[in-house]
Amino acid sequence: MPAPTRHDDWIAATLADLRAQGLLRTLRHCGPPGVTVRVGGRELLHLASNNYLDLARHPRVIEAAREAVGAWGWGSGASQLISGFTELHEALRAALCAFEHAEDAVLFPTGYQANLGAITALADKGDVVILDKLCHASIVDGARLSGAEVRAFPHNNVARLRALLGKYPNRRVLVAVDTVYSMDGDLAPLPDLVAACTEHRALLLVDEAHATGVLGASGRGACERFGLCASGEPEGPLLRLGTLSKALGGIGGFVVGSAARCDLLRNRARAAIYTTALPPAAAAAAVAALDVVREEPERRRRVLALAGRLRRELRARGWNVPEGETPVLPLIVGAAEATLDLSRRLLEAGILAPAIRPPTVPPGTSRLRISLTAAHNERHLDRLLEALGPGPGLDPDPVGGGGPGGGPGHDPAGARR
Ligand SMILES: *Cc1c(COP(=O)(O)O)cnc(C)c1O
């Protein structure tokens, strides 16, 4: 028997350490995503997907994919610039331009790669990338990989961003943020970010992953919600990025913007150049999903209304859930072990609401991440509320000034970070 490598010793120690801290993650074997999901033979109320508009199994999306597989087969066979960009990819590019009111669009195999590709294409050694502290891992990874100087500002703190921007008057600066923060469900202050970047001639990459299809009058996302991407307006500092894998129910990432910006990405984004193009059927499914978003606005209205009611009711029951206007509700517990216990208690009641722990969120802010879809209804919310019972901030005996809105565990600003 050869001796284990030094890596194997390190792997065993690292896993033991994660296990001891209650941070070891394992895979669940899940059935198809819907309002319920089968896990280990049990059908659970599904509060753990990003399938916000319930499009992953929409008949029109399925039919578009099925038809495309019949005609085109499964794989695209090559990268986009070689021969993998088919007529179906071009149809998706055009559909994204129409949906987003943009001049051009660039496709990536995933949203993760869209961030990696866009940031490394737009920032080099000598440039500066400035991030919100809570932005998605793919933005952080892209920034690190770019070789640029990486700086971060406290979450949504535009004054601190301005201070950083002021330090680099002669450098090319890329600012990158999420528009909806995936683990908090809160919005970026986009108008202020745009103003700061405009003033300092910085480019602002905004990741609409959790907003595309969900926010804005026509579902274009948080930029539309803030009136920032009206048709025909100059795009200014704003460069918009999204994913096809959340509300649109499929797979793939994209960036929309001017033809020049998109040409640059097509020529410099290694995460799109050196990887196989999306399956043509994935492109066809995304076109169908965009059609549904346009034709069935009631889907986004429904999921937002449900989220509004759940947020109100959880807060009234003393749970630490920050205000918000998205289908992502963080129920903040604090300690990792206590969060896991609550998640397990819900699992016993037939509800899947995952515990999110460090390093995904800062230590001491472990939480249940509850996400709703257009397929949920009032009865599902009632089931969750009943299984949770009263929260830690609800003083059963309100003498002494406790009660909803008081008490420990009900201080979103203080308890979160
Ligand atoms: C999920 C997510 C991504 C990655 O998108 P995929 O298509 O799943 O790779 C990127 N950015 C944010 C903010 C996300 O939440």
> If you measure from the C-alpha of residue 253 to the centroid of ligand 1, how many angstroms do you get, rounded to a whole number?
8
Q: Return the bridge partners of 45, or none.
A: 36, 351
Measured distance CA(132)–CA(161) in Å, rounded? 8
Please report the beta strands in 101-221, taking only residues with DSSP state E, as ranges in sequence order: 104-108, 128-132, 149-153, 173-178, 203-207
Sort strands 366-371 and 355-356 into parallel, antiparallel or unpaired.
antiparallel
How far apart are the CA of 386 and the centre of ligand 1, in A? Answer: 32
Instruction: Give the pLDDT score at 412.
Output: 35
Query: pTM surpassing 0.75?
Result: yes
- Cα-to-centroid distance, 334 and ligand 1 (Å): 24
| Averages of pLDDT over each 10 residues, the chain, 417 residues | 92 96 86 93 96 97 98 98 98 98 97 98 98 97 98 98 97 98 96 98 98 97 92 84 98 97 98 98 98 98 98 97 96 94 96 92 95 97 97 66 38 35
Atom index in ligand 1 nearest the CA of residue 243 equals 7
Q: Which residues have CB under 6 Å of ligand 1?
A: 110-112, 115, 136, 138, 178, 182, 207, 209-210, 243, 245, 253
Please give the Cα distance from 413 to 417 (Å, whole number).
Answer: 7
Is the four-CA dihedral 341, 346, 347, 352 of positive or negative sign? negative
Ligand 1 centroid vs 369 CA: distance in angstroms?
16
245, 278, 361: which to mutate for ligand 1, most atoms within 8 A of CB?
A: 245
Report whether the peptide linkage leading into residue 408 is cis, meaning its omega lies within 30 degrees of zero. no
223-229: long-range contacts, CB 8 A cutoff, minimum separation 24: 223/179, 223/190, 225/187, 226/190, 226/191, 228/190, 228/191, 228/194, 229/100, 229/101, 229/102
In this structure, which residue's CA is closest to atom 1 in ligand 1? 209
- Cβ neighbours for 89, distance < 8 A, ≥ 6 positions apart: 76, 80, 107, 277, 278, 280, 283
Note whether 214 and 324 are within 8 A (CB).
Answer: no
